[in-house]
Structure 1
């Protein structure tokens, strides 16, 4: 990895984390519920974007370096598996079993489906 790619990766990660902070705040101020909708939406949208990014890279539309910067950097900073795990465990500790199960399995299923949809869309765009 070149020093330029390394710096771009680090900067993209910081921008992704800042984007997550902004999106999280926007969603939390609009939806006051027990379920962690902000984290859910961030992880689903990140999965969708990573699926599309992967297809574009596989179709040689996007250089591998840019895919790495955008995927591992920006989307790595943007998405948050650890927060999703924490929020699921918090719901479980609060005895909100249905919300905890919805968070755990809903996140898994919907994120995988979003990644597949993103990959399909990216593949369709590459021809």
Structure 2
């Protein structure tokens, strides 16, 4: 039960961190590309790769992994917002940008989680 409550708390902290970063980026970024969501998801996937490597190499216990990945990163990352932004771009007839954002949202995070895993594995 305590792990459940701590995961919930970490999820809330992740959501607050996402809000702060999202708001900060949106203050100076006014272009069509939804940079704030993209940056948040890139950071989250890199950190998820690091955490997965740390857990796989038994550097951190499973409970710490769950608190960070399921809790904090679960609240921090936002794939649903990215999909909504893609639909919004397409609905506003920005088809090229929507396609680019779709590709970037799929490809770049896969690269980031792989890099996070690599960095986390090298640190072990």
Bin for the TM-score computed over the shorter chain = over 0.9
The separation in 2 between residues aligned to 1:8 and 1:124, in whole angstroms, is 29
Q: Which residue of 2 aligns with 1:67?
A: 65
Deviation for aligned residue 1:55: 0.2
The separation in 1 between residues aligned to 2:21 and 2:100, in whole angstroms, is 21
TM-score after normalising by structure 1 = 0.96
**1:74-119 CA deviation, whole Å, 9 max, x = no partner?**
0000000100000000000011011101111111100000000000
The separation in 2 between residues aligned to 1:102 and 1:56, in whole angstroms, is 32
The separation in 2 between residues aligned to 1:42 and 1:103, in whole angstroms, is 14
What secondary structure is seen at the aligned counterpart in 2 of 1:40?
Answer: helix
Q: Which residue of 2 aligns with 1:46?
A: 44
What secondary structure is seen at the aligned counterpart in 2 of 1:48?
Answer: helix
What secondary structure is seen at the aligned counterpart in 2 of 1:32?
Answer: coil
Hey, which bits of structure 1, 4+ residues long, moved more than 4 A? Answer: none
Measured on the aligned residues, the alpha-carbon RMSD in Å equals 0.5
Give the number of equivalent residue pairs.
124
1:114 corresponds to 2:79: no
Q: Which residue of 2 aligns with 1:12?
A: 10
Q: Which residue of 2 aligns with 1:104?
A: 102
Give unpaired runs (5+ residues) of structure 2: none
Residue 76 of structure 1, aligned match among 43, 51, 74: 74
The separation in 2 between residues aligned to 1:20 and 1:99, in whole angstroms, is 23
What secondary structure is seen at the aligned counterpart in 1 of 2:93?
Answer: coil
Deviation for aligned residue 1:28: 0.5
Q: Which residue of 2 aligns with 1:36?
A: 34
The separation in 2 between residues aligned to 1:81 and 1:57, in whole angstroms, is 23
